[in-house]
Each structure stands twice: as structure tokens, then as C-alpha cells.
Structure 1
Amino acid sequence: MTTATRPNTERQNRSLVGRDPWSIPLDEIDLAHPGIWQANEFLPFMARMRRDAPVHYCPNSAVGPYWSVMKYQDIMTVEAAPHIYSSEPTIGIVDVLPEYSLPMFIAMDPPKHDEQRKTVQGVVAPANLKNLEGLIRQRVGAILDSLPVGETFNWVDLVSRELTTQMLATLFDFPFEERHKLPYWSDVATAIPGAGVVDSYEESLQILQECLARFSELWRERAAKPPGNDLISMLAHGESTRNMPPREFLGNLILLIVGGNDTTRNSITGGVLALNENPDQYQKLRENPALIPSMVSEIIRWQTPLAYMRRTAKCDTELNGQKIRQGDKVLLWYASGNRDGDAIENPDSFIIDRPRARQHLSFGFGIHRCMGNRLAEMQLRILWEEILKRFHTVEVTGEPTRIYSSFVKGYTELPVRLHPL
């Protein structure tokens, strides 16, 4: 099951799809509406806002008023000030009723955030990543060797989703034969109710209770054994996490599942699309595979798999001349900061040998910087090393199907055909 759907009439009426971003009144721009993201029409709206309203107030949206922070440096300023801009109660724009919300450490402030994050950070420590590299390469090779050469197939299902699902199962030491439950739970957790996956928050929570039940079984097994190197064992034995209430355990599970699945999955797909849209860069890659590490960072910037993160003002403050009040929602648009020409040269060009390619915002900044960033880069690097050994071209043969979301910037379908060397 996927999170993609065509917006219904009501959603289309609220949407900016088809409207001119340069003539619409600024206070009518609602960048958080998913319509322009699924239609791939968001870039000109972001360009307008960076120019005319870099800290922009949307007074009317389906989920209430909010601020948008559009410029690279302003986003960094907010990220560096968790004492002013809180990650609580949530990192999404929607204020979910307490009975449907799930506490997780990405939506916590210090000190609790720091304690819980530290508990699981070892799974992506350099030594553990080094141990994982051979396994990842083996699995990537098996996936690529199983693909139908010369036939059209959905890259998202057979490669992007499968590779990240296998990686997740390894990090959790989750039963491998049940691994496809993981991306399904991820899709449920990030889906907009009524947009194709679940019809309501009640249904979403009911499905996620199944996730909690299965992981609770594994938790009890791991807690009864000596500490291991998987995420469940780390949570079960960690001083700050071993006594978590069930909802907090579920919240952190969802965070780790989504963080390990959606972001890498959509960058794997976005990279294939970007290279097809920029054939000169694809040729440059073929001629010089040593550019793969730099290209991986450029793919992650170009895709920006999570378009924004929300903060909530803890006090009255000012940002780039705008007065933000205590309690206001503040959305940090990473997708816009990554296209800010004041911080990144030629930001609208896909350049695989870009200088300082890791200077992007896709992983966030500060205390909430993505802890799995090196693992994501490693998976993408190995994937492209193995692709270049086998195929001349991964050819995109049709339009991608994008997710109906302004938060998860991703795909459910990308038709491709493989051309061997």
C-alpha cells in the first residue's frame, strides 16, 4: 500500500496547482498544501517566497496559521536555537489530538532528546557502518542481479523500497521474512488521512498498534538477553529508554522506521530521475565513477527527501525582521534552503562534482541533525558503484508518481528500463 493518491475535488480547490506563483498575493500562498508537491509545481513558489517573503506568514491554511522560513541562513539560525524554537509537541504541521500523537525523541527538547538519541546512536557509529558495508554490497548486488533487463518495471518497488527495507530489518534485527511490514507501517505513519492509505487517525493508530505489539514481543526477547548491536536491544537496555511507556516506544520505533526508510528510499529514486533529466551529468558519472561520493551528496540535496521540519516558538522573538509570537508554528523549508543562491552556487543545477557538495540542509542542522546521514550516504554510494558495474543506463521511461504530501517528498512509481553495458 502506498501514500500516493490523486487529490479529491476539495483538496484541489484548496490547492495552488495551476496558479501563477509570481502574481498570487503573498498571503494566499500556502506552501504546506500537498497539491503543488504532488504536481511538482512547488519550486517557483519557493523562489517567489525567498525573494519577496523569506520569513512568510500564512494566515489561513487547513491546519491553521504558520510561518515559513525559506532562506538557508535563517533555517540554520532557527536550528541552532532550540531554546527559542522547540521541537515539541511535533515536527509536523498538524497538531494531532493527544490521543493520536506519539512521543518520539525527534519531537523532544534537551535533555530528554539528547539522552534517548544517545541510546540508539551506536547503531550508526563508524565501526558498525564498516561492519555493515559488506552486507549492504551483497544485498545490493542480489537486488540488481534479479532485475528484468530490457523490460519496464517500477524502480521504487523493486529497488528503492526493497533495499531500504532489507537495511531496516538488519538494523532492528527484525525477522527478515516479515520485513515488508516495515515500509507499510512507515507509509501508515506518514500518510495524510483520506489520501489513500488510511481514512482517519483512528485507523492509523489501530494499524500502528499492530506494529507496537510485534515490536513489544521482540523487545521482551532482547531484554532477556545480553545487550546487542540492534536498535531494539539498544532501546531495551538503554538507561533512558528501557522504562519507556508503550506509546513512547511506538513513537521512537516509527521515528527510526521512517528515518531509515522514507529518506533513503526517495533519494534512491530521485537520483535516477535527476540523472535522466541531466544526461550530461550521467555521462560525466560513467566517465568518472570516482565522482559517486560527491554525486550522492548532490542527489540528497536535489531530492531533499523531507521537505520541512516544524518548530514552535517558545517565546516572542524576531527572525529576519518578522515578529514571531510564542506558540507560533515555524516551518523550516529545507527544500527551499537547498535552492538558496545566497548559500549554494547554481542551486537549480544538478552538478555531481559540485564543490562542498555536503553543504546542504537535507539532514537538518544542530542537535537534531539526522543521526543516520552516513548510513544513507553509504547505501547510495554502494548502490551506484554496483549499478555502474552492471548497466550503461537506468532509463526513465515515463513520468514518476509523487506522494501526496508536503512533508515526505517522495515517489510511489518510477518506470525504468535497464540497458546493460
Structure 2
Amino acid sequence: MPDDASLLDARARAYATPLEDIDVSRVDLFTSDTHWPYFERLRAEAPVHYCKSSEFGSYWSVTRFADIVAVDSNHEAFSSSSEIGGITIFPGSQPHESSSFIGLDPPDHDHQRRVVSPLFTSHKVAEFEPLIRERAIRILDELPIGETFDFVDRVSIELTSQMLATLFDYPFEQRRDLPRISDEILNVPQMEDLERTRGERQARFTQLLFPLIMLWEQRKAQGRKDDLMSLLISDPVTRKNDNPELYLGNVILLIVAGSDTTRHSMSGALMAFQQFPEAYQRLRANPALLDSAVPEIIRWQSPVAHMRRTATRDIEIGGQLIRKGEKVVMWYVSGNRDGSVIPDPERFIIDRERPRQHVGFGFGIHRCLGNRLAEMQLKVVWEEMLKRFSRIEVVGEPQRLRSNFVKGYDAIPVRAYR
């Protein structure tokens, strides 16, 4: 959290800005962690709010819990199709044939999602637990005690990249390339650096994707296996006419989703415990509380800050008429702090009566496919952390992801103590 002075200044700016001029998509609000008072004001005064001009064009903001659920659950009126804008606030479109399934509407969405869903059943997730625990123990036992290290690098990225390598049967020694793909997509450059770095970023991204195309060719020759890449290749629905460049949309989606929800929630939990140290001590005394603490971590962090839809017809939401073709942004990060639904939302409460009452995983047909796996990884790593460390102290300013889509951290300097 920013210091009290920064929050007071952000609050003053949020309430001094004319309502029609508020733009909650500004990336600097997320990198400074000062977006909270802007969303607070919108929930109170304009829960369905039109921003006529932003870096990303005009858009509607949906900021209350109930309205978010209404939009997310109505895929007929609010489309995810990449051909008319897709799922993020960023402008642009993508051809249907190269889209990931999250950028499709039914029935194509349902057909493609069904291909990879066998790896995310409750039974399959339970099978992963011993392996994840073994890896978490190894990672945590190698951490220096009383010395400064980067929690994001040594714990969050390391554990999630190992899981991604397992899900894709990706070369284990190259596992760190998988979250790098996500970072290249999600980190928004400073405006003054945008043109200068465009070519460099594209070159890095192409270099990271090339091994995935090579693996596609190998797996196609090997025949059916049970990893994500093989499932995508072996099914005619997702094989994309034997064109490896077209199948990459689904691969990238699963890399981003598999890395970021877990990785940034893991780091977000650390920051929550820094702000509410009594919660960490309560969990050490009673680890069973992790069953409710884990969904509270998802709510608190809201690793996916927003999802976008496009209206397919004129429709009213929250008393506002949204016209066909307009961009509608569901701010999960705001819905998860909606006090009309979630009691005392500004507190991190590890034993909430209804801890799963949050929009962190979305609703409807696009609800996060890997939510069980994400929660299980969080539970395992924090079970093992609680056993080993009396406290973990943040000793420097965290470095936040430059993104208004995924809310997360690039680095957090910490020290751990027995």
C-alpha cells in the first residue's frame, strides 16, 4: 500500500476531478497503487460510468459487484469476441481463427475450452498437490535467512514457472521463458518509450514464441499425450488447420492465466500480511484458517484487475443505456471492494463468513478455468511458509507491474526470519 500522504493526495485528486473526466484506466494509478479512491467514488456516485477519452479510447466502467456479475453472466449481450475488441481495454481486434478461446463467444468458446478442461478437474488438481508441495519445500528451504532477497523472483515466479513447465511438458531448464512471455504482453511501456521500444519488444516476444512453435511440430509427430500443448494439438477444434502460428493464441492465454493469477496472488498475500501482521500470526497458530484465507487473498489482490466486453445490442446496466458496439470494462478490482456486498472490504479478514464471495475469478462461461489449481498452489506454498518463518518482512518499495489488466508485482525485497 502507498503511504498515508500518497493516499490522502490521491483521494483529494479523485474527488476534485470532475466526474466526467475520471479515467480509471490510467496505468500510473496502478503502478502507484492509488486507484482505490477513484473506484470508491465511482461506486458511490457513478457505478456505471462513461469515460469519453482515454489512452485506450472511450469506455464504460462497471464498478459494483452486482453489475459486474450481471455483465459477466450475460455473454449474449456482452461479447468477448476478439474480432470486435476482445477481453481487455486495449483497442484493436484479432481474427477469429487466431483467437484464444477466451476471445470467442459460444459455441466456439465452449468447444475449445472443453479441450483443455481435463487438466483442471478436481481430481487432476489433487494429483498435482504432492509435486507442488515437494517443489515448494525445496524452493523455501533454499531461501536465505535474515538476508534480503526478491520474493517475486525466488518464490512466486519460481513456483509458478515450474507448474507451467509441468502443464505444458515444457523443457524444465527453460521454464523461466514462460512467465517472460506474459510479462512482455502485460507490461505497458511509458508513453515516451513506446515507439522506441516497440521493435525491441517485438523481437524479444518472437524469440520467446519460437520454441513453442518448435514444440508444436514435435508434439504433432509424437501423437497424443496428456499435457496442455498435446491436448491442443491433438484435437481438431484447437489444432487450427495445422498452422502453429494460429494455435499460439490458446497457448499464450494459458501461460498468462496459469502464471499470473497464482504468481501475483502469492505476492499479494505477502503484501497483505505486511499490512495485517496479526493475520499471519493467526494463521501460524491455526493453519486450518488457510481454507478461508486463500479466497480472501484472491479477493484482496484481485490479480485480474479488469475484463472487457463489447455490447452486442443496446442494453441498460445500472440505470445507464449502453449502445451497441460500446466498450464495457468490468473492474474486478473495484467489485472486490464493494461494501454493499462484502462486509468491511478494506480489511484483510482471513476468516470471513463467506470468503468466496468475490469476483476475482469472473462469472459465467469465462470463469477462470484454473481456479482450483491456483487456490491449491496458494494454499500449499503458504502452509509451508507458515511452518518455516516466524515473519517475512518487506524491506523496500515493491515494484509493481505496469499494467491495468493484471494487478501484480515485478519485485518485492524481503527478509525472512525463523
- Normalising by the residue count of structure 2, what TM-score does the alignment of the two structures yield? 0.92
The alpha carbon displacement at 1:193 in A equals 4.2
Check conservation: 1:219, 1:236, Cα contact below 8 A.
Answer: yes
Q: Does 1:382 align with 2:380?
A: yes
Q: CA deviation at 1:398?
A: 2.1
Deviation at 1:243, TM superposition (A): 3.0
1:291–1:254 Cα change, 3 Å? same
CA distance in 2, matches of 1:200, 1:102: 25
How many residue pairs get aligned? The number is 404
Normalized per residue, the structure richer in helix is 2
2:171 to 165, 169, 175: 175
Q: What does residue range 253-402 of structure 1 map to in structure 2 within 5 Å? A: 253-402=251-400
1:1-400 equivalences in 2 (<5 Å):
20-89=13-82, 90-96=86-92, 98=94, 103-194=99-190, 199=196, 203-244=200-241, 245-400=243-398
Contact 1:56 1:69 in 2 (8 A): yes
Residue type at the aligned position of 1:92: T
User: Aligned-pair distance for 1:272?
Assistant: 0.8
Q: Secondary structure at the match of 1:224?
A: helix
Aligned residues: CA RMSD: 2.0
Distance 1:383 1:217 in 2: 33
Q: Give the Å deviation of 1:249.
A: 1.2
Q: Runs of 5+ in structure 2 lacking a partner?
A: 1-8
CA distance in 2, matches of 1:251, 1:198: 24
Which runs of 5 or more residues in structure 1 are unaligned?
A: 1-15
Instruction: Kindly provide the amino acid, as one letter, of the partner of residue 362 in structure 2.
Output: G
After TM superposition, the structure 1 stretch with the greater mean CA deviation from structure 2, 388-397 or 172-181, is 388-397
CA shift at 1:261, angstroms?
0.7
CA displacement at 1:18 relative to structure 2: 7.9
C-alpha displacement at 1:17, in angstroms?
6.2
* Offset at residue 201 of structure 1 (A): 5.2
Q: Over residues 312-353 of structure 1, what are the superposed CA-to-partner deviations in whole Å (9 max), with x where a residue is unaligned? A: 011111111101011100000000100011111111110001
Please say which of residues 279-288 and 149-158 is displaced more in the overlay.
279-288
Secondary structure (helix, strand or coil) at the match of 1:94 reads coil
Distance in 1 of aligned mates of 2:171 and 2:196:
29
Q: Deviations over 1:11-34 (max 9, x none)?
A: xxxxx9686212211111100010
Indicate the SS of the match to 1:20. Answer: helix
d(CA) in 1 for partners of 2:25, 2:98: 21
Deviation per CA, 1:202-221: give whole Å up to 9, x if none: 55444333344311221222
Using the alignment, how far apart are the partners of 2:200 and 2:397 within structure 1? 31
Aligned partner of 1:162: which letter? E
